[in-house]
Amino acid sequence: MLIAIRGTFYAGGCSPHEGSILFKAHDPDNWAKLAGYPVEVDPQGHVRLRLEGIDTLEINFQGYHQPLKFVNEALDFLLSRLRIRSVLWGSAHARDGAAGCILSEKAEKRGRPVALAFPGDLGWRDGSEINPDAALLKHSVNYQLLQAGLAYPTYYQGLPPHLREAFTRGWREAGIHRRGFRPLDRTNLGVEVDGLRTLTEKDIILPKLFRRLVRFMKEKHDLSGFKAWLEANPEHVTYLPTGRLTTLDTLVRVEGNSVKLDAAPEDLVFAEN
Protein backbone atom coordinates (compact mmCIF):
# COMPACT_ATOMS: atom_id res chain seq x y z
CA MET A 1 0.00 0.00 0.00
CA LEU A 2 1.17 3.51 -0.83
CA ILE A 3 0.58 6.67 1.16
CA ALA A 4 -1.41 9.43 -0.57
CA ILE A 5 0.14 12.82 0.17
CA ARG A 6 -1.58 15.92 -1.12
CA GLY A 7 0.28 19.12 -1.80
CA THR A 8 1.80 21.35 -4.46
CA PHE A 9 4.39 20.75 -7.17
CA TYR A 10 7.09 23.34 -7.84
CA ALA A 11 9.88 23.90 -10.33
CA GLY A 12 11.08 27.30 -9.10
CA GLY A 13 13.65 27.64 -6.36
CA CYS A 14 15.85 25.09 -8.11
CA SER A 15 17.81 24.88 -11.32
CA PRO A 16 16.50 23.17 -14.46
CA HIS A 17 19.82 21.35 -14.49
CA GLU A 18 18.89 19.46 -11.34
CA GLY A 19 16.45 17.38 -13.33
CA SER A 20 13.75 16.71 -10.76
CA ILE A 21 10.65 18.28 -9.34
CA LEU A 22 9.85 19.71 -5.90
CA PHE A 23 6.77 18.93 -3.83
CA LYS A 24 5.39 20.58 -0.70
CA ALA A 25 3.00 18.50 1.40
CA HIS A 26 -0.10 20.14 2.86
CA ASP A 27 0.55 18.10 6.01
CA PRO A 28 4.29 17.58 6.60
CA ASP A 29 3.51 14.97 9.25
CA ASN A 30 2.70 12.58 6.41
CA TRP A 31 6.41 12.25 5.59
CA ALA A 32 6.84 10.25 8.80
CA LYS A 33 4.50 7.59 7.40
CA LEU A 34 7.00 6.61 4.71
CA ALA A 35 9.38 3.71 5.21
CA GLY A 36 13.07 3.83 4.36
CA TYR A 37 15.21 6.88 5.07
CA PRO A 38 14.09 10.17 6.65
CA VAL A 39 12.65 12.56 4.08
CA GLU A 40 14.90 15.55 3.36
CA VAL A 41 12.81 18.73 3.69
CA ASP A 42 14.28 22.12 2.78
CA PRO A 43 13.63 25.35 4.76
CA GLN A 44 10.66 26.20 2.50
CA GLY A 45 9.07 22.84 3.21
CA HIS A 46 9.90 21.38 -0.22
CA VAL A 47 11.13 17.86 -0.88
CA ARG A 48 12.75 16.61 -4.07
CA LEU A 49 11.02 13.58 -5.59
CA ARG A 50 12.41 10.52 -7.29
CA LEU A 51 9.85 9.43 -9.85
CA GLU A 52 9.09 5.72 -9.51
CA GLY A 53 9.69 3.33 -12.41
CA ILE A 54 11.38 5.74 -14.82
CA ASP A 55 14.62 7.56 -15.53
CA THR A 56 14.80 10.60 -17.82
CA LEU A 57 17.90 11.57 -19.76
CA GLU A 58 20.57 13.22 -17.64
CA ILE A 59 20.54 17.01 -17.49
CA ASN A 60 23.69 17.37 -15.41
CA PHE A 61 25.65 14.41 -14.14
CA GLN A 62 29.11 15.43 -12.96
CA GLY A 63 29.01 18.24 -15.51
CA TYR A 64 27.76 16.13 -18.43
CA HIS A 65 24.36 15.89 -20.08
CA GLN A 66 22.68 13.63 -22.61
CA PRO A 67 21.36 15.04 -25.94
CA LEU A 68 19.59 18.22 -24.93
CA LYS A 69 16.74 18.11 -27.45
CA PHE A 70 15.09 15.24 -25.56
CA VAL A 71 16.26 16.42 -22.14
CA ASN A 72 14.33 19.65 -22.75
CA GLU A 73 11.33 17.88 -24.28
CA ALA A 74 11.01 15.68 -21.21
CA LEU A 75 11.28 18.67 -18.88
CA ASP A 76 8.66 20.63 -20.83
CA PHE A 77 6.38 17.59 -20.91
CA LEU A 78 6.71 17.07 -17.15
CA LEU A 79 5.97 20.69 -16.28
CA SER A 80 3.03 20.78 -18.69
CA ARG A 81 1.46 17.59 -17.30
CA LEU A 82 1.88 18.84 -13.74
CA ARG A 83 0.19 22.09 -14.87
CA ILE A 84 3.11 24.27 -13.85
CA ARG A 85 2.64 27.35 -16.01
CA SER A 86 5.26 29.82 -14.83
CA VAL A 87 8.78 28.60 -14.11
CA LEU A 88 11.12 30.83 -12.13
CA TRP A 89 14.42 28.96 -12.32
CA GLY A 90 16.73 29.89 -9.50
CA SER A 91 14.15 31.93 -7.61
CA ALA A 92 14.66 31.86 -3.86
CA HIS A 93 10.95 31.25 -3.40
CA ALA A 94 9.02 29.07 -5.81
CA ARG A 95 5.84 30.79 -7.01
CA ASP A 96 4.92 28.35 -9.72
CA GLY A 97 3.01 25.86 -7.61
CA ALA A 98 0.40 23.50 -9.01
CA ALA A 99 -1.88 21.34 -6.89
CA GLY A 100 -1.41 17.62 -7.01
CA CYS A 101 -0.79 14.43 -5.13
CA ILE A 102 1.86 11.76 -4.84
CA LEU A 103 1.70 8.11 -3.89
CA SER A 104 4.75 6.86 -2.06
CA GLU A 105 5.81 3.99 0.16
CA LYS A 106 9.35 4.98 1.09
CA ALA A 107 12.17 7.48 0.77
CA GLU A 108 15.54 6.49 -0.67
CA LYS A 109 18.93 7.12 0.87
CA ARG A 110 19.15 10.71 -0.47
CA GLY A 111 15.94 11.55 1.39
CA ARG A 112 13.76 11.66 -1.74
CA PRO A 113 10.32 10.04 -1.65
CA VAL A 114 10.05 7.43 -4.40
CA ALA A 115 6.77 8.54 -5.87
CA LEU A 116 4.05 8.30 -8.44
CA ALA A 117 3.05 11.89 -9.22
CA PHE A 118 -0.44 13.01 -10.21
CA PRO A 119 -1.69 16.50 -11.12
CA GLY A 120 -4.90 17.92 -9.70
CA ASP A 121 -7.24 16.51 -7.08
CA LEU A 122 -8.02 12.80 -7.31
CA GLY A 123 -10.20 12.91 -4.22
CA TRP A 124 -7.92 10.89 -1.97
CA ARG A 125 -7.93 11.57 1.75
CA ASP A 126 -4.60 13.07 2.73
CA GLY A 127 -2.41 10.45 4.39
CA SER A 128 -4.64 7.53 3.40
CA GLU A 129 -3.42 4.22 1.99
CA ILE A 130 -3.96 3.53 -1.72
CA ASN A 131 -3.31 0.34 -3.67
CA PRO A 132 -2.82 1.59 -7.26
CA ASP A 133 -3.72 -0.57 -10.24
CA ALA A 134 -2.63 -0.30 -13.87
CA ALA A 135 -5.59 1.93 -14.77
CA LEU A 136 -4.67 4.45 -12.07
CA LEU A 137 -0.99 4.31 -13.01
CA LYS A 138 -1.83 5.69 -16.47
CA HIS A 139 -2.88 8.98 -14.84
CA SER A 140 0.59 9.46 -13.33
CA VAL A 141 3.18 11.67 -15.02
CA ASN A 142 5.60 8.76 -14.55
CA TYR A 143 3.64 6.56 -16.95
CA GLN A 144 2.91 9.41 -19.33
CA LEU A 145 6.61 10.28 -19.72
CA LEU A 146 7.36 6.64 -20.50
CA GLN A 147 4.48 6.31 -22.95
CA ALA A 148 5.65 9.49 -24.71
CA GLY A 149 9.10 7.96 -25.24
CA LEU A 150 10.73 10.62 -23.05
CA ALA A 151 11.89 8.38 -20.20
CA TYR A 152 13.38 4.92 -19.86
CA PRO A 153 11.87 2.19 -17.70
CA THR A 154 14.15 1.77 -14.68
CA TYR A 155 12.84 -0.63 -12.07
CA TYR A 156 13.97 -1.26 -8.53
CA GLN A 157 12.98 -3.88 -6.02
CA GLY A 158 9.77 -2.93 -4.29
CA LEU A 159 7.87 -1.85 -7.39
CA PRO A 160 4.89 -4.26 -7.56
CA PRO A 161 5.01 -6.57 -10.61
CA HIS A 162 1.61 -5.45 -11.92
CA LEU A 163 2.78 -1.82 -12.01
CA ARG A 164 6.10 -2.80 -13.56
CA GLU A 165 4.26 -4.71 -16.28
CA ALA A 166 2.02 -1.70 -16.94
CA PHE A 167 5.05 0.57 -17.25
CA THR A 168 6.59 -1.91 -19.71
CA ARG A 169 3.46 -1.88 -21.87
CA GLY A 170 3.65 1.93 -22.04
CA TRP A 171 7.34 1.80 -22.99
CA ARG A 172 6.72 -0.75 -25.72
CA GLU A 173 3.82 1.32 -27.04
CA ALA A 174 6.21 4.26 -27.36
CA GLY A 175 8.48 2.01 -29.40
CA ILE A 176 5.71 0.80 -31.71
CA HIS A 177 4.60 4.37 -32.40
CA ARG A 178 8.18 5.74 -32.53
CA ARG A 179 7.54 8.41 -29.95
CA GLY A 180 10.12 10.69 -28.37
CA PHE A 181 13.66 9.34 -28.44
CA ARG A 182 12.59 5.70 -28.85
CA PRO A 183 13.62 5.47 -32.54
CA LEU A 184 17.08 6.75 -31.56
CA ASP A 185 17.68 4.51 -28.53
CA ARG A 186 21.07 2.77 -28.86
CA THR A 187 21.14 0.93 -25.54
CA ASN A 188 20.84 -2.54 -27.08
CA LEU A 189 22.22 -1.68 -30.53
CA GLY A 190 25.48 -0.27 -29.22
CA VAL A 191 27.36 3.00 -29.54
CA GLU A 192 30.86 3.81 -30.68
CA VAL A 193 32.28 5.88 -27.84
CA ASP A 194 34.76 8.42 -29.15
CA GLY A 195 35.11 10.30 -25.90
CA LEU A 196 32.23 11.69 -23.87
CA ARG A 197 31.13 14.00 -26.67
CA THR A 198 29.50 10.98 -28.37
CA LEU A 199 27.24 10.47 -25.38
CA THR A 200 26.46 14.11 -24.68
CA GLU A 201 25.64 15.31 -28.19
CA LYS A 202 24.74 12.33 -30.33
CA ASP A 203 23.77 8.91 -29.01
CA ILE A 204 20.96 8.12 -26.59
CA ILE A 205 21.40 5.29 -24.11
CA LEU A 206 19.96 4.21 -20.78
CA PRO A 207 20.88 6.93 -18.25
CA LYS A 208 22.16 4.34 -15.77
CA LEU A 209 24.72 3.16 -18.34
CA PHE A 210 25.50 6.77 -19.32
CA ARG A 211 26.31 7.66 -15.71
CA ARG A 212 28.71 4.74 -15.36
CA LEU A 213 30.44 5.63 -18.62
CA VAL A 214 30.86 9.24 -17.46
CA ARG A 215 32.43 8.14 -14.18
CA PHE A 216 34.82 5.82 -15.98
CA MET A 217 35.74 7.99 -18.95
CA LYS A 218 36.41 11.16 -16.99
CA GLU A 219 39.77 9.53 -16.26
CA LYS A 220 40.15 7.32 -19.36
CA HIS A 221 40.48 7.87 -23.11
CA ASP A 222 38.81 4.65 -24.27
CA LEU A 223 36.70 1.75 -23.03
CA SER A 224 39.53 -0.62 -22.19
CA GLY A 225 39.03 -1.65 -18.60
CA PHE A 226 35.38 -0.58 -18.45
CA LYS A 227 34.08 -4.12 -17.89
CA ALA A 228 36.63 -4.70 -15.15
CA TRP A 229 35.70 -1.38 -13.56
CA LEU A 230 32.02 -2.36 -13.53
CA GLU A 231 32.91 -5.72 -12.02
CA ALA A 232 34.91 -3.99 -9.29
CA ASN A 233 31.88 -1.77 -8.55
CA PRO A 234 29.11 -4.39 -8.69
CA GLU A 235 25.48 -3.42 -9.11
CA HIS A 236 23.08 -6.26 -8.42
CA VAL A 237 20.22 -6.75 -10.83
CA THR A 238 17.60 -9.39 -11.58
CA TYR A 239 17.16 -10.39 -15.21
CA LEU A 240 13.40 -10.95 -15.45
CA PRO A 241 13.20 -13.39 -18.41
CA THR A 242 15.15 -16.00 -16.40
CA GLY A 243 14.76 -14.68 -12.86
CA ARG A 244 18.56 -14.78 -12.56
CA LEU A 245 20.25 -12.53 -10.02
CA THR A 246 23.43 -11.15 -11.52
CA THR A 247 25.45 -7.92 -11.72
CA LEU A 248 25.34 -5.19 -14.33
CA ASP A 249 28.81 -5.96 -15.68
CA THR A 250 27.63 -9.39 -16.94
CA LEU A 251 25.04 -7.66 -19.14
CA VAL A 252 27.35 -5.04 -20.65
CA ARG A 253 29.26 -5.93 -23.82
CA VAL A 254 32.38 -4.03 -24.83
CA GLU A 255 34.05 -4.64 -28.19
CA GLY A 256 36.81 -2.16 -28.92
CA ASN A 257 35.22 1.25 -28.44
CA SER A 258 31.69 -0.09 -28.84
CA VAL A 259 29.48 -0.66 -25.82
CA LYS A 260 25.96 -1.97 -25.46
CA LEU A 261 23.61 -3.59 -22.98
CA ASP A 262 22.71 -7.21 -23.70
CA ALA A 263 19.34 -6.87 -21.96
CA ALA A 264 16.31 -4.71 -22.61
CA PRO A 265 15.93 -2.01 -19.93
CA GLU A 266 12.42 -3.22 -19.10
CA ASP A 267 13.80 -6.70 -18.33
CA LEU A 268 15.93 -5.50 -15.42
CA VAL A 269 15.10 -4.94 -11.75
CA PHE A 270 17.89 -3.27 -9.80
CA ALA A 271 18.62 -3.72 -6.13
CA GLU A 272 18.50 -0.54 -4.05
CA ASN A 273 21.99 0.59 -3.14
137 shares its domain with 252: no
Exposed / middle / buried, residue 62 (Cβ in 10 Å: 0-12, 13-18, 19+): exposed
205 shares its domain with 117: no
233 shares its domain with 155: no
| Of the residues 176, 199, 216, the one at which a domain ends | 176
Instruction: Give residue 84's pLDDT.
Output: 83
Percent of the chain at pLDDT exceeding 70: 93
Q: How confident is the model at residue 87 (pLDDT cuts 50, 70, 90)?
A: low
Which residue range forms the structural domain that includes residue 251? Answer: 185-270
**pLDDT digit string, tens, across residues 47-61:** 999 999 999 999 889
**pLDDT digit string, tens, across residues 228-249:** 999 999 999 999 999 999 999 9
> For 90, left (φ over 0), alpha (ψ -120 to 50), or beta?
left
The least confident of 1-5, 13-17, 38-42, 124-128 is 13-17
CATH no. for residue 31? Answer: 2.40.50.90
190 shares its domain with 172: no
228 shares its domain with 135: no
Instruction: Give residue 12's pLDDT.
Output: 60
145 shares its domain with 36: yes
Please report the DSSP string for the chain in residue order: -EEEEEEEEE-TTS-GGG---EEEESSGGGGGGSEESPP---TTSEEE-EETTEEPPPS-BTTB-S-HHHHHHHHHHHHHHTT-----TT-SS----EEEEEEEEEE-TTS-EEEEEEES---PPTT-EE---HHHHTTSHHHHHHHTTSSEE-EETTS-HHHHHHHHHHHHHHHHTT-TTGGGB-TTT-EE-SSTHHHHHT-B--HHHHHHHHHHHTS-SSSTTHHHHHHHS--EEEETTTTEEEEGGGGEEEETTEEEESS-GGGEEEPP-
**Backbone phi, psi, residue 23, to 5°:** -145, 135
Distance, in Å, from the CA atom of 107 to the CA atom of 59, rounded to the nearest integer, reads: 22
Distance, in Å, from the CA atom of 46 to the CA atom of 5, rounded to the nearest integer, reads: 13
Q: Is the pLDDT of residue 262 over 90?
A: yes
CA 115 to chain centre: 10
| Of the residues 145, 176, 207, the one at which a domain ends | 176
| Of the residues 176, 195, 216, the one at which a domain ends | 176
Instruction: Give residue 18's pLDDT.
Output: 46
Exposed / middle / buried, residue 53 (Cβ in 10 Å: 0-12, 13-18, 19+): buried
Exposed / middle / buried, residue 229 (Cβ in 10 Å: 0-12, 13-18, 19+): middle
206 shares its domain with 105: no
Check: CB of residue 143 under 8 Å from CB of residue 137: yes
149 shares its domain with 210: no
68 shares its domain with 196: no
Check: CB of residue 91 under 8 Å from CB of residue 11: no
Structural domains counted in the chain: 2
Best CA proximity match to 163, nearest among 264, 51, 6, 73 = 51
16 shares its domain with 116: yes
55 shares its domain with 170: yes
202 shares its domain with 93: no
